Structure 1
Amino acid sequence: MIRSVNFPGRGALLSSVAIVAMTVGADAQDRGQDRDGVYQLGEIYVSGAARGGSGSGGAGGGGVGGSTVTREQMWTFEKQTLDQAVNLVPGVNGTLSSAGQRNETDIFVRGFGRWQVPLMIDGVRLYLPADNRLDFSRFLTGDISEIQIQKGYASVLDGPGGMGGAINLVSLKPVKPFESEIRAGTMFDNRGAFQGWNSYARIGSRQENFYVQGSVNQLDQNFWSLSRGYSPYPAQGPYPGSLEDGGRRNGSDTQDWRVNLKAGYTPNATDEYSINYTKQSGAKGAPLNVYNNPPSSQNSFWLWPAWNVENLAFLSNTQIGDASYLRTKLFYNKFYNALSAYDDITYRSQSNPGRFNSQYNDNARGGSIEAGTELIPMNTLKAAFHYRQDFHTEQNDNRPTSPVFNTTEPWQHQNQTTWSAALEDTFHVTPDVDLVGGVSYDKYRIDKAEEYDDIRGLYEYPKGGADALNWQTAAIWRYSEAKQVYFSVSDRARFPTIFELYSQRFGNAIPNPNLGPERATNYELGWKGQILSNLKGTAAIFYSDVRDLIQAVRVSPTQSQTQNINQGNFYGFEASLEAQLSAQFMIGGNYTFIERNVSDVSIPGFRPVGVPTQKAFVYATWRPIEPLAITPNLEVASDRWSDVLVGTQGPNAPIRAAFPDLYIRTGAYTLANINVNYQVTENVELAGGVRNLLDQNYELVWGLPQPGRTFYAKVRAIF
């Protein structure tokens, strides 16, 4: 287990600094229900560490290949959304998705994206049945106690799909008879204009045999502004120039809020039964590619009036005797998404071909059961079974403002059932050495696959399905009280989405119901520990052999089909350090190097996009006087490959001539940031700072520059 401690004189700012005290045993051995306000029922299993253990983001992490972003780190470094917060740890980067018109963020864990790395909330997977295109910037961090990130090795006990790892958002739980927290903040651009505000409020109570809690988190941003270094793309001959003139970024408004309610019953020191309800709602614009005027088909005038998620879950833990336990999860999820495509930048008319109002109205239900025992000395055996049903419903209102060509499709339904059975055994060779082995069998089937077109009307595709056998093993040696070395191998599969199976991509693709799963074998050799009394660190080298990657293959001059054709390998290393140099000064940081090679037979010169070859995060904290803490930090990234999404004909032909390749490297960047925190009283603190202090003009995806210098001010009160 990894316990959080405060260094003398450091206060709340350094509560995220952890020292490593590794122990391994059955889940029944470690049940501190009130640890640091972390909702332990919602933590995912970490092989090689007792459930309930966690670690600090940059220089820690429990078990095999894991890192944790703490609540204090998210506050100190002003990370309001999930995609921003994960950039604090090595091996992980949040970025824009390659399809820029969707204005979505993706997260890559050692080169694996949102389709290969499941997202969970309190251990319950959030999966969008149609295409699982999660937008990670919609997930606010105000009510999160920690973000667990498993890299490469994600335990088979936590369900199917962990081909490249797993991300879990763990909520808060009250630990005092009465507690509350209030936060508020504002944002300003590089010209001093008010951009938006955010707020968070929580109230809770922990009594002897029960607890209750409620919270609300909101982020409302009217716009963000480009760097002063941005210049509009110039006109070339008949080309009219960029639609983005600089300053306030067109289409950059977002509104998000989330409500989180929790009630639990704790009849004794080990058992716990909890009901959780979460509802979040979002709306957003979509900034246009600055090189396209008018936008190509990949960058149309799109708006999302709704991006909503709702979760209801029951979680329990029951101890059976002194050496066994039983855990259950039951859940019901709802997802509603509305997308509108317009004719032009006025966002009023929807009469042209390809303009629509689209609705997704999805839900999922299911559950899991997990049991573990240490009835046999020196051995921990665990088993889990997961079952879920996903229901996708969609409808398009095509060309809604056209008096002649307006048509409304009937609702179409696609349903899917997935289940997984898993077994994991840990053999405690000695008190300091563990051998872990896991195996699972996953299976899915398509129960309904409806589609609609003007010629055939409502019809159904052939139903698909597949199964997969997964295995993993690890060895952990704790060669001193606070140091360990480990080696792991994990062979996992990922099933295709309904979109990959059946989408016709506006008539340009042929469905493939027989599409098989992707697969990766991940190898990792790692070390973590306390080097000196004031210095700790981690280091890991990793290699992934990826097979049967899913890719759209050109099968005719006008159509493609999604097939399992790609092979490749991802490899690299990462390291992190944290040092408490004195009572007033602390430094830390991490570094990642990664290469991704993918062989592809359908796209000449194919490049895997979205991941920089090198990435680093460095920070220092100086406390000149007890209440004041100054924390500058640097976010550094080398360039990365990006798609060049532009047509070859018409007004965009000059742009294709200027960017002839299908892929381009976006520029490297170094973002300087600073946060100043002042503890006014024991319960109240003020903070303010600057992001992108040097106002650097940079891109994560071709044609989509990122925010320039941004100022913020905030306050929080904890009682």
Structure 2
Amino acid sequence: MSAAMLPVFCLNYSKEIMIMIKKSHYREGERAEGRTCAEGWLPPGMRLRTVAAAVLCLSSFPSMAQQVSQDSEKNVFTLGTVQVYGKSQTAAEEAEAVVERDTLEMLEKKDVGTALKLIPGVSYNSPGGGRYESSVYVRGYDLKAVPIYMDGIPVYIPYDGYSDLGRFTTADVSSIQVAKGYSSVLYGHNTQGGVINIVSLRPRSELDLNATLGTATGNVTEFSTNVGTLQDKWYLQAGISHFERRYTKLAENFVGTDARGNDVDSDRYDYKTRDRRGSIRIGYIPNATDEYVLSYAKQSAVKMPGSGGNDRVVPTVWEWPSWDRETVSFVSNTRFWNDQFYVKPRVYYDKFQNTMDYWQGRPNGSHYDDKAFGASLEVGTEIIRNHQLKAMISFKDEEHRSFDTSLANGATLPGSDQKVQQEFLSLALEDTWTINDHWEAQIGAIYTKRKSDANDIGPVTQDLLDRYPAAGSKLSPSIDTFDPQLAIFYKPSDAHTFRASVAKKTRFPSFKESYSNYAAGPTTRCPGGATGCTPGTEVGALTLQNPGMKPEQSMHYELGYVGHPLPGMRLEGSVFYSRSKNTFQRSDYDFDTYPGFAVRQYENISGITERKGVDLGLQYSASPRLLLGVNYAYLHMRNKEDRDLKFTSRPSHLGMVYAQWRTTNWLTVIPEVEYRSSSYYDSKGENENPGYAVTNLRFSITPPAWKHVSINVGAENLFNRDYRGYNATYSSPGRVVYANLRIDYH
């Protein structure tokens, strides 16, 4: 086979692997009989042929090194970053925390949630709860206040502002950028606690290829390939990925009752997750400064119990047979007038659809059909000496539709179809002023106006509406906010940058917080002391909309440093203080406002919430063969008016230590230890989740004859530590052993 034909062969074979994987999936409800195709295993012969062909593809690439030019540029899709197209990176851009692709691969972070553990000040929560979602807190702010962007496009779910970070794999990620507290106003609205921006790959050369084929405990199948070409006037980037885990090994055997009500004695979660993603991007680059890019991406996920039988633990009675997202976007950058001006338009359409089935005890399924259309126009100039001036106008239209269907026949249940819509219009201004060789300042402000429409939400019960017509109000007033911010940077030399910043940030209430409207009971008991019902009797339990809430606001103050105090060392650190007011929280049941009913709503709680702490991150090349990394974060949260109120699942101390030790020219050893202190389990502070430390270990082999190939094996939770939270029914995930082949050729 010629070298020119090899990429075509490998791509075609990648497709065959995907077909074989698809055929190997077990069918719903089919009992497993050993390691068969029905349980999701490839037959031994097929596995041998698959690995052998993969090795052939991987090992053959070094022979092509003489035929393809190399490009030292990083594979970062720069139009997907929120940055100024100036002559050099500004101090404000340097202040953002970044996880590069090399680090993601070195520490085997397979999804964005686990990757964010590498950022000081970010705490990660493993998948759990009825929704079996993973999440993070950034300096104590949850994902509703720290929106997720992909290449500068917001991809959080419009309904509640969340996103399951386990569904975002890192197969085609070049870097993850995190702004904590202070963030550029060009990100737009709702960035109350910061921003997480996932940046995709961009080709580096005429042939840029990376691929991974692997497996792990839990009958994991991992496959991904990204192929790109960079030509004189254009480039093309395409990728596909598949990651499936058919069960999760527990840290120790669980004996008890699972979510199905079955008595089990097992060391496995029988809960399957599968994530697939495909993307393609074509870019036109007519000159050294301009770029025009059209992108399309689709991801599909499944979360549901497998077919392991009644002897395995099923952790939740909810399942998602579909969790799908589709995004199309156009973004460009054009410079003109002797490169002193630029214009950067961005247009996107993002569609999110999912189906949630209650497969245990409730005969219906719930469906989301959310859409978002957005556009922005950013313009900038450097015509004024030492100033980079930017202005952006942006528009976003969000729509949430939900409906329930019968699992028996798929018909939409009467009265369950609801639709709400909201629009955001923002105007942002920002000036980066280079005062002299040592001082830089950035001042910005953003104005946002929100309009909302919820006419298609019906009454939670007609009985309530008949007795209390005011309970049916869906009027949502137009809300506008103005958020200014300022940052000062001092650079005594190129190796050190100090900063001080202050920023006002706002978050608008989500659809869920404004328009949750459903029967929550059906009944609950009237407590003693209530005036709207007779104590001891049963009354209807309802969750009612509250569209008139104020936006939640925060003030952030920060002192920070980033630099290179020693050769080969990078140190970043910050001390921060934040104050938040009008925080959203769902109330306890109110038995008095609507006599005869128990009603709860989301509301703005009184009082100021304070957050203060320290973030530290260090990476040090101690020698050509040894790299060391250390992260640490401290967080203290309190409500000033209610000192007894505790904030759950927010540890005071977080830490991580890792090393990359190249023992020989072909073997690298990578140990890693993650530490997390205890955290409160309930808001009264009566119970705590325990602290823990988890050890991971990885070996990477780079055969001298295959310089573009690495063979990686390792173990997560090496010592099989059970670090479950307080009152958690099941053990935490246990030891996971993995192995993969990876190629990176450009």
Specify the TM-score bucket, using the shorter chain as the normaliser: 0.7 to 0.9
Q: Distance in 1 between matches of 2:388 and 2:264?
A: 60
Q: Distance in 2 between matches of 1:53 and 1:607?
A: 41
Q: Deviations over 1:533-574 (max 9, x none)?
A: 132211111111111101122361322221111421011001
Assess if the C-alpha contact under 8 Å between 1:65 and 1:524 holds in 2.
no
How much has 1:91 moved relative to structure 2?
A: 0.7
- 1:5 aligns with none
CA 1:568/1:432 → structure 2, altered by over 3 Å: closer, same or farther? Answer: same
Matched, 1:150 2:150: no
- 1:134 aligns with 163
Q: Distance in 2 between matches of 1:591 and 1:286?
A: 37
Correspondent of 1:544 among 559, 578, 592: 578
Matched, 1:699 2:724: yes
What's the TM-score, normalizing by structure 1?
0.82
Q: Distance in 1 between matches of 2:726 and 2:210?
A: 37
- 2:737 aligns with 711
- 2:273 aligns with 254
Give the secondary structure class of the aligned counterpart of 1:84.
helix
Letter in 2 for 1:246: S
Equivalenced residues, count: 630
Letter in 2 for 1:215: G
Q: Deviations over 1:583-640 (max 9, x none)?
A: 2222111110111113577xx9542222211011101121121121101010110012
CA 1:522/1:311 → structure 2, altered by over 3 Å: closer, same or farther? Answer: same
Identical aligned pairs, as a percentage? 28
Assess if the C-alpha contact under 8 Å between 1:211 and 1:265 holds in 2.
yes
1:502-513 equivalences under 5 Å are 502-507=515-520, 508-513=542-547
Greater Rg over alpha carbons, structure: 2
Give the secondary structure class of the aligned counterpart of 1:41.
helix
Q: Distance in 1 between matches of 2:159 and 2:443?
A: 33
Correspondent of 2:79 among 23, 38, 41: 41
- 2:241 aligns with 217
- 1:13 aligns with none
CA 1:482/1:374 → structure 2, altered by over 3 Å: closer, same or farther? Answer: same
The more displaced of 207-216 and 529-538 is: 529-538
Give the secondary structure class of the aligned counterpart of 1:718.
strand
CA 1:482/1:702 → structure 2, altered by over 3 Å: closer, same or farther? Answer: farther
CA 1:74/1:689 → structure 2, altered by over 3 Å: closer, same or farther? Answer: same
Q: List runs of 5+ in structure 1 lacking aligned partners.
A: 1-32, 55-60, 189-193, 288-293, 345-349, 645-660
How much has 1:464 moved relative to structure 2?
A: 3.9
- 1:617 aligns with 656
1 or 2 for the larger relative contact order (CA 8 Å, sep ≥6)?
1
- 2:491 aligns with 478
- 1:116 aligns with 145
Assess if the C-alpha contact under 8 Å between 2:461 and 2:519 holds in 1.
no
1:252-651 equivalences under 5 Å are 252-285=271-304, 301-321=317-337, 322-343=339-360, 350-351=362-363, 356-397=364-405, 400-401=407-408, 407-409=413-415, 411-452=417-458, 456=462, 461-507=474-520, 508-554=542-588, 556-557=590-591, 558-566=598-606, 567-598=608-639, 606-643=645-682
Assess if the C-alpha contact under 8 Å between 1:589 and 1:619 holds in 2.
yes
Assess if the C-alpha contact under 8 Å between 1:45 and 1:51 holds in 2.
no
Q: Distance in 1 between matches of 2:501 and 2:94?
A: 7
Q: Distance in 2 between matches of 1:51 and 1:74?
A: 29
Q: Deviations over 1:62-87 (max 9, x none)?
A: 63642101111111111101100000
Assess if the C-alpha contact under 8 Å between 2:699 and 2:713 holds in 1.
yes
- 2:26 aligns with none
Assess if the C-alpha contact under 8 Å between 1:333 and 1:363 holds in 2.
yes
Give the secondary structure class of the aligned counterpart of 1:72.
helix
Q: Distance in 1 between matches of 2:651 and 2:94?
A: 24
Query: What is the CA RMSD across the aligned residues, in angstroms?
Result: 2.9
Q: Distance in 2 between matches of 1:205 and 1:371?
A: 29
Q: Deviations over 1:275-326 (max 9, x none)?
A: 0101001111379xxxxxx99xxx9611111111110000100012222211
Letter in 2 for 1:490: A
How much has 1:718 moved relative to structure 2?
A: 2.5
Correspondent of 1:685 among 683, 690, 710: 710
Correspondent of 2:688 among 638, 647, 665: 665
Give the secondary structure class of the aligned counterpart of 2:160.
coil
Give the secondary structure class of the aligned counterpart of 1:85.
helix
Q: Distance in 1 between matches of 2:485 and 2:602?
A: 28
Q: Distance in 2 between matches of 1:406 and 1:155?
A: 44
Give the secondary structure class of the aligned counterpart of 2:93.
coil
CA 1:619/1:515 → structure 2, altered by over 3 Å: closer, same or farther? Answer: same
Q: Distance in 2 between matches of 1:66 and 1:326?
A: 23
Assess if the C-alpha contact under 8 Å between 1:96 and 1:701 holds in 2.
no
Assess if the C-alpha contact under 8 Å between 2:254 and 2:731 holds in 1.
no
Q: Distance in 1 between matches of 2:647 and 2:305?
A: 24
Assess if the C-alpha contact under 8 Å between 1:257 and 1:282 holds in 2.
yes
Letter in 2 for 1:448: A
How much has 1:96 moved relative to structure 2?
A: 4.3
Q: Distance in 2 between matches of 1:108 and 1:382?
A: 30
Assess if the C-alpha contact under 8 Å between 1:639 and 1:668 holds in 2.
yes
Q: Distance in 1 between matches of 2:208 and 2:83?
A: 28
Q: Distance in 2 between matches of 1:183 and 1:73?
A: 16
Q: Distance in 1 between matches of 2:114 and 2:395?
A: 31
Higher fraction of helix: 2
Q: Distance in 2 between matches of 1:205 and 1:196?
A: 30
Letter in 2 for 1:536: R
Q: Deviations over 1:11-49 (max 9, x none)?
A: xxxxxxxxxxxxxxxxxxxxxx98401000001238xx9
